[in-house]
């Protein structure tokens, strides 16, 4: 559980806490260290707000201590300093902010995460980190970023650990004058992080514990508690609704598929945003079966679905005015006597036929149905999110998602929202001449491209065939949906990528 985060009017040298966390700046400007008196006194480090209090309490020895320890004030770097008997706090922690000229919301998120990780063994932490935010950064946005970092840095998934050691941190006091904007920002950041944590939990659950039906039950409970209505299709209803991709992919599993439509409809909404999330609760590859190693992390193949559900659950509490509709196909891709075979032809909801030449290219098949339905509902814009191709990881690595779209203005709006919340995305092209790589001998198109490269692009072009009438963006998060290690406010396992982007997008949405 994330700690309670609150604004407290107290001086740094008076506060009673287990830890006092204070910011320190590096002397790195434009990638080079400077040694000017203005920026540096020792080891290129400059004390931030509250750190001077610690320095005075320790007899002006803090910078020497930092230099001896090799502490340079880099973003997310932390150094514990004993202060017993000289301050109200039992100990202090210096948190690196990087160069003071480049501090942004993400620097505050990383500082919050460092605070949470270093405070995991104590109960109460106080901090002056918020005062390190530059005047150019809105105070509420700065507070939100700090709270997100604290809450996300506190995240743990311990449900299956027999020797679990949960964080003991229960309270974080942000020191500063009474300020309604700051309080609102802290509350907003904590609420957003709560949604991200829900998505991370669902992604981290073993596949056995999250059948399509189980995910529906979890999502329905979350949605109903947060002003979101849910419609679910199953069995014969999927047949009547012509969900050929969902039925084809789900045919091999003993756990039948589901399709969810979630609706957030605030009074007076003047625009509609459609969110589509891939929900393959486990991907064996089907008859085109994956290697053993390739299956190890396939419980995360429903990360897109988790992001859509979680983001929508926070919209009412955050006062979002945009109408948002979520489309979540849920399937398990398994090999069996009932599974679809390479060479089979599926008819999708919009009537187009697809020759399935690789059953491990299944995500695009269920998204085809979802995008077709989303298009029928005539929203002002559509964005889908999917762990779709390994090729995007080859191109962009594990920290940047691939972004493709049909409208430059809409693509830029999505990318800008992602940048603001620290979830990076980079545009990839959808060249018309690559479309012929999807030509099929027997159907309207095939589910994999011919040729040896451009897998992310041909997957995007496949999805484009099922979008009509609205600007559309596709986010390929095969690399960013999961992390192999703790990194700032990202925890090992499911990252919840997309939740914060979708909340920001819905809150600031403009019709393209």
The 8-class DSSP code of residue 348 comes to -
- Residue spans of alpha helices (H) in 119-179: 139-153
460-464 LR contacts (CB < 8 Å, sep 24+): 460/402, 460/404, 460/428, 460/430, 461/430, 461/434, 461/435, 461/437, 462/364, 462/368, 462/438, 463/364, 463/367, 463/368, 463/371, 463/384, 464/406, 464/430
Helix, strand, or coil here: 381? strand
Q: Residue 13 and residue 15: Cα distance in Å, rounded?
A: 6
Question: Of 364, 415, 446, 482, which one is the catalytic site residue?
Answer: 364
Query: What's the rounded Cα separation, in Å, for the pair 491 and 484?
Result: 8
Say how far apart CA 503 and CA 278 lie, in whole Å.
18
Q: Which of 402, 379, 381 is nearest to 390 (CA)?
A: 402
DSSP 80: E
* Closest listed residue to residue 213, CA positions, set 307, 304, 328: 328
Contact of 301 with 389, CB cutoff 8 Å: no
CA–CA distance from 220 to each of 108, 227, 453 (Å)? 34, 11, 40
Q: Which of 373, 364, 367, 342 is nearest to 355 (CA)?
A: 342
Of 140, 88, 143, 149, the closest CA to residue 118 belongs to: 149
CB-based contact 333:282 (threshold 8 Å): yes
- Which of 186, 120, 124, 125 is closest to 154 using CA atoms? 120
Q: Which residue has the tokens 């930092």?
A: 66
Token digits for 164?
């679990």
Q: Running DSSP on this structure, what letter comes out for residue 437?
A: G
Q: Is 364 a catalytic residue?
A: yes
CA-based R_g, the chain, Å:
24
**Candidate list 183, 290, 321, 424, residue with the active-site label:** 290
Positions marked catalytic: 290, 364
């Amino acid at each position: 559980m994330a700690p309670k985060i609150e604004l407290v009017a107290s001086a740094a040298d008076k506060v009673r806490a287990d830890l006092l966390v204070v910011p320190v700046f590096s002397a790195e400007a434009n990638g080079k260290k400077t040694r000017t008196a203005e920026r540096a006194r020792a080891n290129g480090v400059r004390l931030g707000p509250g750190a001077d209090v610690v320095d005075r309490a320790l007899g002006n020895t803090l910078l020497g201590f930092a230099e001896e320890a090799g502490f340079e004030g880099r973003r997310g770097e932390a150094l514990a300093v004993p202060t017993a008997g000289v301050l109200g706090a039992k100990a202090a922690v210096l948190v690196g902010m990087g160069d003071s000229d480049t501090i942004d919301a993400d620097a505050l998120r990383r500082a919050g995460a460092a605070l949470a990780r270093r405070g995991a063994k104590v109960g109460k932490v106080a901090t002056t980190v918020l005062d390190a935010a530059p005047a150019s950064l809105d105070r509420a946005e700065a507070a939100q970023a700090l709270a997100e970092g604290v809450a996300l840095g506190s995240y743990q998934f311990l449900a299956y650990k027999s020797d679990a050691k949960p964080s003991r941190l229960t309270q974080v006091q942000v020191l500063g004058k009474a300020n309604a904007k700051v309080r609102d920002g802290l509350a907003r950041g904590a609420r957003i992080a709560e949604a991200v944590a829900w998505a991370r939990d669902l992604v981290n659950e073993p596949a056995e514990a999250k059948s399509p039906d189980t995910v529906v039950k979890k999502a329905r409970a979350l949605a109903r508690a947060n002003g979101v209505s849910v419609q679910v299709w199953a069995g014969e209803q999927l047949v009547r609704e012509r969900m050929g991709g969902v039925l084809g992919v789900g045919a091999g599993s003993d756990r039948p598929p589901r399709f969810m439509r979630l609706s957030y409809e605030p009074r007076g909404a003047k625009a509609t945003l459609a969110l589509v999330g891939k929900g393959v609760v486990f991907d064996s590859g089907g008859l085109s079966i994956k290697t053993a190693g390739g299956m190890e992390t396939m419980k995360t193949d429903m990360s897109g679905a988790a992001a859509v559900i979680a983001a929508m659950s926070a919209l009412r509490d955050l006062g979002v005015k945009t109408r948002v509709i979520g489309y979540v196909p849920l399937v398990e891709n398994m090999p069996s006597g009932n599974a679809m075979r390479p060479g089979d032809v599926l008819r999708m909801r919009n009537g187009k036929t697809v020759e399935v030449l690789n059953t491990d290219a299944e995500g695009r098949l269920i998204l085809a149905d979802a995008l077709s339905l989303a298009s029928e509902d005539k929203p002002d814009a559509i964005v889908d999110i999917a762990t779709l191709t390994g090729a995007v990881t080859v191109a962009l690595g594990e920290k940047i998602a691939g972004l493709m779209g049909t409208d430059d203005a809409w693509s830029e709006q999505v990318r800008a929202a992602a940048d603001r919340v620290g979830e990076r995305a980079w545009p990839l092209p959808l060249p018309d001449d690559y479309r012929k790589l999807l030509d099929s001998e027997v159907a309207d198109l095939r589910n994999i491209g011919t040729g040896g490269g451009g897998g992310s692009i041909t997957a995007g072009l496949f999805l484009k065939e099922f979008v009509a009438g609205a600007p559309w963006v596709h986010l390929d998060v095969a690399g960013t949906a999961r992390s192999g290690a703790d990194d700032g406010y990202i925890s090992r396992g499911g990252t919840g990528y997309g939740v914060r982007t979708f909340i920001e997008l819905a809150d600031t949405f403009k019709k393209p």
